[in-house]
Amino acid sequence: MIYPIILSGGSGTRLWPLSRAALPKQFLKLASENTLFQESLLRLDGFPGMAAPIVVCNNAHRFLVAEQLLEINKPPMMEILEPVGRNTAPAVAIAAFAAQEKDADVVLLVLPADHLVSNVAAFHKAIHAALTLALQDKLVTFGIEPDAPSTGFGYIERGTALNVDHPAYNVARFVEKPDLETAKSFVASGDFFWNSGMFVFKASVFLQELQAFRPDIYKAAREAWEHSVRDLDFCRLDEAVFATCPSESIDYAVMEHTKSAAMVTVNIGWSDIGSWSALADATSTDAQGNSLRGDVYADQSSNSYIRAESRMVAAIGVKDLVIVETADAVLVMHKDLAQDVKQTVEYLKKAERSEHLVHQRMYRPWGYYEGIDIGDRFQVKRIMVKPGAKLSLQMHYHRAEHWIVVSGTAKVVCGNEVKLLHENESTYIPIGQTHRLENVGKLPLFLIEVQSGSYLGEDDIVRFEDDYKRA
């Protein structure tokens, strides 16, 4: 039995404005009808002996993960919720402790949730080879055959060949992201491969090596696991304990030190979608070399990635550009500067703006809401509540609310009054009044909410009861 460990804690800032803190790139539909997170699990279908996944994610994304797993019918063994990010070594260590509760000698398949793999059959063959080596107590990584001298990846140098039915080698060394001339020499030699960040190893062997080389990480991860709280599929790590854990990658903590590192080399149509230009390279193009997504009109334009999320985008006479439109931000950039998006994100942070944090549409476990208009002492939202779902029983100190049902059936609790609202009916929630909204129908409930008051922030919520156990 192989236990897939899906690491989904990344922020994906280089894919702004689509990827944001509240909805990072792994939870977006970037290259198919499924999100990158969903694709990381679906590509394992058909591989024998694959257990239910253990997902490691940020606590703030727990309901996104649960919803996306439900959409593809992949119930998890566990969702491990990180209160703070601590890189991959602590995340995998805690997942290993969790897996060992099921099987003391379990093999882990560690996969980032935000990669693309187009050749699934070749990927499965590589997993089989890696499994053979892992059962020999090797810590196995996947080395990607480079097709260009990229400076955006770390490299792995191959050592002596290993006797398995697939190209595989002992690892000679790991190399940090090189400059262009060094990258060219690496590719020309044929001995260097891109570091994919995917691994196969026994949980016991990884933990043994982690304890040997980074006992501080091992101890903190162990304590965070032992002090965790189980809540259905969720495993909530103790924040105070986990925050003491050093932040370190698997490569730095273990792989660069162990004598058991091995590499299976692969050509699987892999991309880490690390930038808009990388996504453009990984998607289909028209005769002019354009990748067009959404409501886009392109004339006399070539070699450009143009994506419209909420309205029409027209591009005339442009070349080698990335254009990405969302409801509240537009990115226009030369493809060669794709890595510089992070400078925009830093600007937004310093300016204390919100465009790097959230979209206008905000997902919640009960559905979503999106901003329509906002002004002095008022705000208008469009709300969708899933069938059978309900918001918390709550009140606000600073705002009143008007709800108008657009479609569906709403059960409204307002103080001691309970009533049903249907299409075109409305109700008023005074300041300071306890209230709750529930969809008692079989179809999604849509309504318009008009807020008015002196303060309209999302933190003006006092919850008394909540099905989702939010603070």
State whether 11 and 85 are in the same domain: yes
Is 51 among the domain residues?
yes
Instruction: Tell me the two tokens of residue 349.
Output: 């942070």
Is 253 among the domain residues?
yes
Could you tell me the pLDDT band of residue 257, with boundaries at 50, 70 and 90? very high
State whether 175 and 294 are in the same domain: no
State whether 201 and 80 are in the same domain: yes
The pLDDT of residue 468 is above 90: no
State whether 169 and 306 are in the same domain: no
pLDDT score, position 18: 96
The CATH number that applies at residue 367 is 2.60.120.10
Mean pLDDT of the chain: 95
Of 221, 242, 271, which residue is a domain's last?
271
For the chain, what is the domain count?
3
Compute the distance between CA of residue 411 and CA of residue 360 in angstroms, rounded to an integer: 26
The pLDDT of residue 471 is above 80: no
The pLDDT of residue 361 is above 80: yes
The CATH number that applies at residue 185 is 3.90.550.10
Of 224, 256, 271, which residue is a domain's last?
271
Is 176 among the domain residues?
yes
State whether 259 and 389 are in the same domain: no
pLDDT score, position 378: 96
Compute the distance between CA of residue 337 and CA of residue 97 in angstroms, rounded to an integer: 42
Q: Give burial (CB, 10 Å; 0-12/13-18/19+) of 109.
A: buried
> Containing domain of residue 313, as a range?
276-346
State whether 30 and 95 are in the same domain: yes
State whether 247 and 309 are in the same domain: no
Of 322, 346, 370, which residue is a domain's last?
346
Could you tell me the pLDDT band of residue 105, with boundaries at 50, 70 and 90? confident
Is the CB of residue 85 less than 8 Å from the CB of residue 10? Answer: no
pLDDT score, position 67: 93
Compute the distance between CA of residue 463 and CA of residue 260 in angstroms, rounded to an integer: 52
Q: Which residues are CB-contacts of 293 (< 8 A; sequence separation ≥ 6)?
A: 283, 306, 307, 308
Is 470 among the domain residues?
no
State whether 322 and 445 are in the same domain: no
Q: For a pLDDT cut of 90, what percent of the chain falls above it?
A: 91
pLDDT score, position 12: 81
State mean pLDDT over 118-132: 96
Could you tell me the pLDDT band of residue 375, with boundaries at 50, 70 and 90? very high
Is 407 among the domain residues?
yes
